[in-house]
């Protein structure tokens, strides 16, 4: 159905009011960029495979939207996945999934970019393609369909969804997207093979059909063969050396409905210096790069002026590691205080310095405090390279309560390598001592919320060779921790992740192309929106794994050897395999690796 049909539906059909949150689908928000199709020579749809409220909070999409639309010859528009009620309505009406700016069906664009932020969105990718009336598998797409490009942190191992994409961009997109668009422009009207061959020449672009995995009889990867002359042996990720040298939006579309992060977001740094061995983002976005304070001030004031937000978030993987963070928070608080605009920091370290900053920026509204100790003992934190001691944790908790915060949230992880019952019990001891010290400085009424998640081994990290613990292990340790916290139940709230979801996520995170039929089978049987608890179906996933002859535990709960070829070994995010293996070995000897920043010795990870 053509574009006027969707406009007619949105304008005249009362059925729109029968779905949840119809404001998700109407588009035309303040600051949206709308161009006439005839005024451009190339069109790009930027799609997020989750609902509007999630996708509109993603900064990466806003950056690419800004960069592409800054070129008068390019039309870039946004699309998000509808909630199942709207999806059924679109299918019933015969309307293809469309962009918010012009109502154009996604299949009519030259390039369809899909953001891959989490493995639990993989069935959503298929749902998005089917709603767009685009064949699910790349090999079945004819010349008339757009090139389907995936990007985001899941490209650290995109093999489970490789058959559904024409290409992936490994790494950061600000500079690469311009090169990709020029190839799409120069090969317009030619065969898909020609376009993909040219895209494969771009650093960071991975065309999966140009690579053939070969397997041993036991199911492990023997090798990945290159089957096309233009394809490199190893795909190397793209990264931006200077954040100030690439564009960042000074105005963004302002949603009509509440979204998850309804505030101005300023990325003050990219990458992390800490090197936590479980953290894929910390490896994927190395090395750390900072945006200068002057640029941060300019972008902040521009976004507040153009969007009317009453909150600004200064974010990065480790915000308080920015070398000018104290200066920036004080300056921005002074500039924005009179306008009643709050400054927040979403990621704080458990140290006195971070608390000082939190106090500096709480003059307008006092935000909650969240910290991530990750593990209950100094020993286990050394294993994961978390540079944090019990003493620092308790000092930070005490200082936070003394500064009139009454409720702290702490994140812990279960199932880490070398973990013992003593490490679990130590969480309760740490919390009990923190509450005792908190009462001493703040009196009664101090509380904590503990959020527990299962360790998921991720590709391109030092723990990519580790196994995930079985569900029974996690359940036993939740019971152990609950018992240890029983006498504190009025002061401590406890929540934990769904361990069945964690098994599926781990299987997808370390899976190979044999997992692709499983994802498609789940989708064909009605599975989608797996990141939403009300839609995730563990029995459905287990049935699909069984039907496809794939054991999820083979991918999730099996340790790897140093010699085993990993499904993603032909892709490099910059951090070398040798470095990751050294870090893996150091974990088991409880040896820490110092931060990766100026003034410290280089660890030779290869990212720079």
CATH number at residue 395: 3.30.750.200
The answer on 8 and 119 residing in a single domain is yes
| pLDDT at residue 2, rounded to an integer | 45
Residue 403, pLDDT above cutoff 80: yes
Inside any domain, residue 571 = no
The answer on 210 and 79 residing in a single domain is yes
The answer on 415 and 388 residing in a single domain is yes
Written as six digits, the tokens of 601 are 């010795």
Q: How far apart are CA 484 and CA 491, in angstroms?
A: 13
Residue 493, pLDDT above cutoff 70: yes
Q: How far apart are CA 264 and CA 248, in angstroms?
A: 12
Instruction: Give the pLDDT mean for 406-420.
Output: 95
The answer on 221 and 288 residing in a single domain is no
Concatenated DSSP letters for 45-100?
A: EEEESS-HHHHTT-HHHHHHHHHHHTSTTEEEEEEEPPPHHHHHHHHHHTPPPB-T
Residue 4, pLDDT above cutoff 50: no
304: Cβ–Cβ under 8 A, 6 or more apart, which residues?
A: 264, 312, 336, 339, 341
Residue 364, pLDDT above cutoff 70: no
Residue 415, pLDDT above cutoff 90: yes
The answer on 447 and 353 residing in a single domain is no
Residue 205, pLDDT above cutoff 90: yes
474: Cβ–Cβ under 8 A, 6 or more apart, which residues?
A: 414, 415, 454, 496, 499, 502
Concatenated DSSP letters for 520-587?
A: HHHHHTT---TTSTTT--HHHHHHHHHHTT--HHHHHS----TTSBPTTTTEE-SS-HHHHHHHHHHH
**Of 409-423, 457-471, 594-608, minimum mean pLDDT range:** 594-608
170: Cβ–Cβ under 8 A, 6 or more apart, which residues?
A: 155, 156, 204, 205, 206, 235, 236, 237, 238, 571, 573
Of 360, 389, 416, the last residue of a domain is 360
Cis peptide before 287 (omega within 30 of 0): yes
Inside any domain, residue 463 = no
The answer on 114 and 41 residing in a single domain is yes
487: Cβ–Cβ under 8 A, 6 or more apart, which residues?
A: none
Band (pLDDT 50/70/90 cuts) for residue 363 is low
Inside any domain, residue 541 = no
Band (pLDDT 50/70/90 cuts) for residue 354 is confident
Band (pLDDT 50/70/90 cuts) for residue 1 is very low
Strand partners, 42: 74
The answer on 308 and 212 residing in a single domain is no
Inside any domain, residue 125 = yes
| pLDDT more than 90, % of the chain | 85
Residue 560, pLDDT above cutoff 90: yes
| CA angle (430, 315, 259) in 5-degree steps | 100
Inside any domain, residue 580 = no
Inside any domain, residue 600 = no
CATH of the domain at 286: 3.30.750.210
| pLDDT at residue 153, rounded to an integer | 96
**Of 104-113, 158-167, 397-406, minimum mean pLDDT range:** 397-406
Residue 96, pLDDT above cutoff 60: yes
Residue 412, pLDDT above cutoff 50: yes
The answer on 211 and 228 residing in a single domain is yes
Written as six digits, the tokens of 409 are 């949230």
Written as six digits, the tokens of 408 are 């702290």
Task: Please write the tens of the pLDDT for every residue from 48-65.
Answer: 999 999 999 999 999 999
Residue 366, pLDDT above cutoff 80: no
Greater pLDDT, 326 or 601: 326
Q: What is the pLDDT of the chain when averaged over all its residues?
A: 94
The answer on 179 and 46 residing in a single domain is yes
| pLDDT more than 70, % of the chain | 98
Inside any domain, residue 575 = no
Greater pLDDT, 43 or 189: 43
| pLDDT at residue 3, rounded to an integer | 43
Domain range enclosing 389: 368-456+468-489
Of 342, 360, 378, the last residue of a domain is 360
Instruction: Give the pLDDT mean for 520-545.
Output: 97
Of 182, 217, 236, the last residue of a domain is 236
Written as six digits, the tokens of 244 are 């100030």
The answer on 180 and 307 residing in a single domain is no
Residue 145, pLDDT above cutoff 70: yes
The answer on 273 and 213 residing in a single domain is no
Written as six digits, the tokens of 557 are 């709960």
437: Cβ–Cβ under 8 A, 6 or more apart, which residues?
A: 394, 397, 398, 401
The answer on 56 and 195 residing in a single domain is yes
CATH of the domain at 181: 3.40.50.280
Inside any domain, residue 494 = no
**Structural contact between residues 115 and 61, judged by C-beta atoms closer than 8 angstroms:** yes
Residue 150, pLDDT above cutoff 50: yes
Written as six digits, the tokens of 386 are 């978390």
The total number of structural domains in the chain stands at 3
Written as six digits, the tokens of 438 are 């908190």
Beta strands 211-215 and 221-226, pairing class = antiparallel
Global pTM value: 0.95
Q: Which of 499, 511, 496 is nearest to 544 (CA)?
A: 511
- Backbone phi and psi for residue 289, each to the nearest 5 degrees, phi listed first: -135, 140
Q: How far apart are CA 29 and CA 256, in angstroms?
A: 7
Instruction: Give the pLDDT mean for 165-186.
Output: 97
């Amino acid at each position: 159905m053509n574009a006027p049909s969707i406009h007619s539906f949105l304008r005249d059909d009362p059925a729109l009011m029968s779905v949840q949150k119809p404001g998700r689908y109407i588009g035309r928000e303040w600051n949206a960029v709308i161009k006439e199709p005839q005024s451009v020579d190339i069109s790009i749809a930027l799609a997020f495979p989750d609902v509007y409220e999630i996708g509109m909070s993603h900064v990466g999409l806003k950056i690419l939207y800004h960069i592409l639309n800054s070129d008068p010859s390019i039309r870039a528009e946004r699309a998000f996945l509808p909630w199942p009620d709207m999806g059924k309505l679109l299918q019933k009406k015969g309307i293809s999934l469309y962009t918010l700016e012009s109502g154009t069906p996604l299949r009519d664009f030259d390039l369809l970019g899909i953001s891959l932020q989490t493995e639990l969105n993989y069935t959503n990718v298929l749902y998005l393609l089917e709603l767009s009336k685009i064949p699910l598998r790349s090999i079945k797409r004819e010349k008339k369909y757009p090139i389907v490009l995936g990007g985001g942190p899941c490209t650290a191992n995109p093999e489970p969804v490789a058959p559904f994409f024409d290409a992936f961009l490994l790494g950061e997109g600000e500079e690469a997207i311009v090169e990709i668009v020029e190839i799409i422009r120069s090969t317009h009207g030619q065969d898909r093979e020609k376009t993909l061959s040219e895209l494969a020449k771009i650093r960071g672009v991975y065309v999966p059909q140009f690579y053939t995995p070969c397997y041993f009889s036991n199911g492990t990867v023997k090798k990945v063969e290159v089957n096309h002359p233009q394809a490199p042996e190893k795909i190397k990720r793209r990264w931006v050396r200077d954040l100030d040298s690439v564009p960042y939006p000074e105005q963004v579309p302002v949603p009509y409905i509440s979204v998850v992060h309804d505030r101005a977001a300023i990325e003050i740094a990219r990458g992390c210096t800490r090197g936590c061995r479980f953290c894929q983002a910390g490896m994927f976005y190395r090395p750390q790069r900072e945006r200068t304070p002057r640029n941060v001030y300019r972008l902040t004031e521009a976004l507040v002026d153009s969007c009317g937000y009453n909150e600004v978030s200064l974010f990065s993987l480790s915000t308080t590691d920015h070398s000018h963070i104290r200066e920036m928070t004080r300056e921005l608080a002074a500039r924005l205080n009179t306008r009643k605009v709050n400054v927040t920091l979403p990621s704080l370290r458990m140290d006195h310095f971070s608390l000082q900053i939190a106090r500096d920026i709480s003059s307008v509204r006092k935000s909650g405090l969240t910290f991530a100790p990750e593990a209950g003992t100094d020993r286990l934190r050394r294993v994961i390279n978390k540079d944090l001691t019990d003493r620092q944790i308790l000092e930070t908790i005490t200082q936070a309560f003394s500064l009139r915060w009454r409720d702290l949230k702490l994140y812990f992880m279960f199932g880490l390598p070398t973990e013992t019952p003593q490490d679990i019990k130590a969480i309760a001891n740490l919390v009990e001592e923190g509450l005792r010290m908190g009462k001493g400085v703040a009196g009664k009424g101090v509380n904590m919320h503990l959020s527990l998640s299962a360790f998921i081994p991720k590709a391109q990290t030092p723990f990519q060779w580790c196994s995930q613990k079985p569900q029974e292990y996690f359940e036993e340790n939740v019971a152990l921790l609950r018992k240890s916290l029983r006498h504190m139940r009025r002061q401590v709230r406890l929540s934990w992740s769904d361990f069945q979801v964690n098994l599926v996520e781990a299987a997808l995170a370390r899976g190979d192309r044999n997992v692709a039929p499983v994802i498609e089978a789940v989708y064909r049987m009605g599975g989608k929106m797996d990141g939403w608890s009300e839609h995730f179906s563990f029995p459905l996933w287990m049935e699909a794994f069984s039907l496809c002859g794939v054991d999820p535990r083979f991918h999730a709960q099996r340790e790897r050897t140093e010699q085993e070829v990993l499904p993603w070994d032909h892709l490099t995010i910059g951090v070398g395999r040798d470095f990751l293996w050294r870090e893996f070995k150091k974990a088991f000897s409880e040896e820490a690796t110092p931060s990766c920043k100026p003034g410290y010795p280089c660890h030779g990870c290869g990212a720079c």
